[in-house]
Amino acid sequence: MRSKSAPAQVCICKLYSAGALAHIARILKPDGVLILSTPQKYSFLELASKIAFLPGIIELVRLVYREPIMETGHINLLTGRAARAQLSNAGFVLRECHVSGLYLPLVAEFLGEMGLRCAIVGERMLNRTGLTGVLWTQFYVAARPN
């Protein structure tokens, strides 16, 4: 990149840290926007993946999926509070946030379309009640102020 700042920043990475967010804030032009998504630390998907890799269970999981199963590899899992704090500490102003992605172990795998409808209804209920910490992904739109 030739200029010392960028009007927009696209960052697709598996892990990020407070240092990476601070660097993005430094190179983003004033009023530039960062769109960030990251898995939530206590989502059903992340918790289910921890259980799935226990000895004995992983063999059953491989039978169900009939393919090699690899860890999700999310190194820097954050709660919503921690993600918002890192954005704020890096100097970003939060414009929007959204959480989505309900994963119910075995429902998605065995119930097909009906399982998808169950997940959609469940996600709506969790959003209405504020219990969004179990949803898989958090999305943020944040701006670098002038």
Model pLDDT for residues 53-92, shown as the tens digit of each residue: 788 888 887 887 777 776 665 567 788 898 899 999 999 9
| Residue 35 located in a structural domain | yes
CB proximity list for 48: less than 8 A, separation 6 or greater? 103, 105
| Residue 1 located in a structural domain | no
Residue 62, both tokens: 């491989």
Query: Could you give the number of structural domains in the chain?
Result: 1
Determine the Cα–Cα distance for residues 63 and 67; give it in Å rounded to an integer: 8
* Amino acid at residue number 61: V
Question: Tens of pLDDT along 91-134?
Answer: 999 999 999 988 887 787 788 899 999 999 999 999 999 898 88
Neighbours of 93 (CB within 10 A): 11
**Per-position DSSP letters for the chain, written without gaps between them:** --SSSEEE-----S---HHHHHHHHHHEEEEEEEEEEEEBTT-HHHHHHHHHTSTTHHHHHHHHHTS--------S-B-HHHHHHHHHHTT-EEEEEEEE----TTHHHHHHHHHHHHHHHHHHHHHHHT-GGGSSEEEEEEE---
CB proximity list for 1: less than 8 A, separation 6 or greater? none
The predicted pLDDT at position 58 comes to 80
The predicted pLDDT at position 36 comes to 86
| Residue 119 located in a structural domain | yes
Domain that holds residue 13: 6-143
| Residue 116 located in a structural domain | yes
| Residue 40 located in a structural domain | yes
Question: Tens of pLDDT along 8-18?
Answer: 555 544 446 78
